[in-house]
Structure 1
Amino acid sequence: MRKVLLTVVCIVSFGIVQAQTVPTETNKVSDVPTVTSNKVSFYEQIPLVHNVINFAKAHLSIRYRSGGTTTSGFDCSGFTRFCFNKFGISLPHSSAAQGNVGAAIEKESAQPGDLILFKGHSSGGNRIGHVGLITEVIGDRIKFIHSAWNGGVRYDYLSASYYQHRYMGIRRVAHLLTQK
């Protein structure tokens, strides 16, 4: 029974993969259609976004330092500024000021490389006080990397109640990378 079930799962999976791909060109040697995916990743559209995110990931666990802008310690906006500056994008050293850079993006349109903005320690305020860099979007789950006072450079999810209550918006600055 397990073998039959496994066979059915494999056949269905293969069918789904085939349905998601389309032939786009013919191999000149064998005249066999070459199958390629019709979905292009965000990283392929703007390759430097991938580089910025990988650069940010390389700094995981660096400690938090108020006002910090170097690998000896970062505050939140110092970290995002440091990462983008490496690739020629100059961001201001203030999370509130970074909230005015680039273009405002709806949460449903968030992509890796976007800045994600939050209120500071007080969820009752209405001022931006924290910023991170979105690293992954799967469905409605947004993962971001940031420098937090309680853990330094680390990952978190927007779905965590702490961040849900403080969420302020998303800014796209990746288009600035393509202009360099």
Structure 2
Amino acid sequence: MTKKMLLAVFCTVSFGIVKAQSVPTALNSVPTVTEADVSTVTPIPFYEQLPLVKEVISFAKEHLYTRYRSGGTNTRGFDCSGFTRFCFNHFGLLLPHSSAAQGNVGEAINQEQAQPGDLILFKGHSSKGSHIGHVGLITEVIGDQIKFIHSAWNGGVRYDYLHADYYKRRFMGVRRVAHMLAEN
């Protein structure tokens, strides 16, 4: 477990024990946290801490099967960055209309820390390139499986998985922008 998770569990358990005690001196004592205490507390995923993230993902899903349109930024057709921009803009977070520019927004996140609501970035059509050319919105993370929604030139708005060879070879990174929703 990470230090942050253990600290959160410790604080949660400590607060619960302190609240349960009615003796005024309980605030001065430090409760013992056992391994059993830690294993019974389930940490709340980042995306569930921000209700707007669920709303952005739900809004994105409403546009499944909308056609691809180069330069498209609305329901008549989206390109990849036009789609992510459209979804976040609906909730007050204005992203640039370029996948490369969206690759500079927010905070870089390790693939292992990816959460729903994060942007996922890829190289363009060539897996040998070194520039961001495609972007999607992560909708689900189960283990090491990352599911994302995006507007692809060959199918419009649809779901795909990072573990598919096409995307695995082009993967460039993950950016966390959802925390910026709460700041707006």
Global fold match (TM > 0.5): yes
TM-score with structure 2 length normalisation? 0.77
**Aligned counterparts of 1:42 and 1:60: Cα–Cα separation in 2:** 24
2:88 corresponds to 1:84: yes
Residue 178 of structure 1 deviates from its aligned partner by 1.1
Q: Match of 2:139?
A: 135
**Aligned counterparts of 2:143 and 2:164: Cα–Cα separation in 1:** 15
Structure 1 segment 50-129 matched on structure 2, within 5 A: 50-129=54-133
**Aligned counterparts of 1:135 and 1:97: Cα–Cα separation in 2:** 21
Q: Match of 1:44?
A: 48
Q: Match of 2:33?
A: none
Structure 2 gaps of 5+ residues are: 1-12, 21-39
- Whether the 8 Å CA contact 2:123–2:130 is kept in 1: the answer is yes
Q: Secondary structure at the match of 2:139?
A: strand
State the AA in 2 paired with 1:119.
Answer: K
- Once the two structures are aligned, what percentage of the paired residues are identical? 74
Q: Match of 1:166?
A: 170
Q: Which whole-Å deviations, capped at 9, do the CAs of 1:64-91 have from their partners, x for residues lacking one?
A: 0000000000000000000000000000
- Whether the 8 Å CA contact 2:116–2:138 is kept in 1: the answer is yes
Distance 1:107 1:43, change over 3 A: closer
Q: Secondary structure at the match of 1:81?
A: helix
| Number of aligned residues | 149
**Aligned counterparts of 1:134 and 1:39: Cα–Cα separation in 2:** 20
**Aligned counterparts of 1:157 and 1:44: Cα–Cα separation in 2:** 21
- Whether the 8 Å CA contact 2:119–2:137 is kept in 1: the answer is yes
**Aligned counterparts of 2:71 and 2:157: Cα–Cα separation in 1:** 14
**Aligned counterparts of 1:119 and 1:76: Cα–Cα separation in 2:** 12
2:158 corresponds to 1:154: yes
State the AA in 1 paired with 2:163.
Answer: S
Residue 37 of structure 1 deviates from its aligned partner by 5.9
RMSD between aligned residues:
1.6
**Aligned counterparts of 1:40 and 1:97: Cα–Cα separation in 2:** 30
Structure 1 gaps of 5+ residues are: 1-21, 27-35
**Aligned counterparts of 1:52 and 1:37: Cα–Cα separation in 2:** 27
- Whether the 8 Å CA contact 2:149–2:158 is kept in 1: the answer is yes
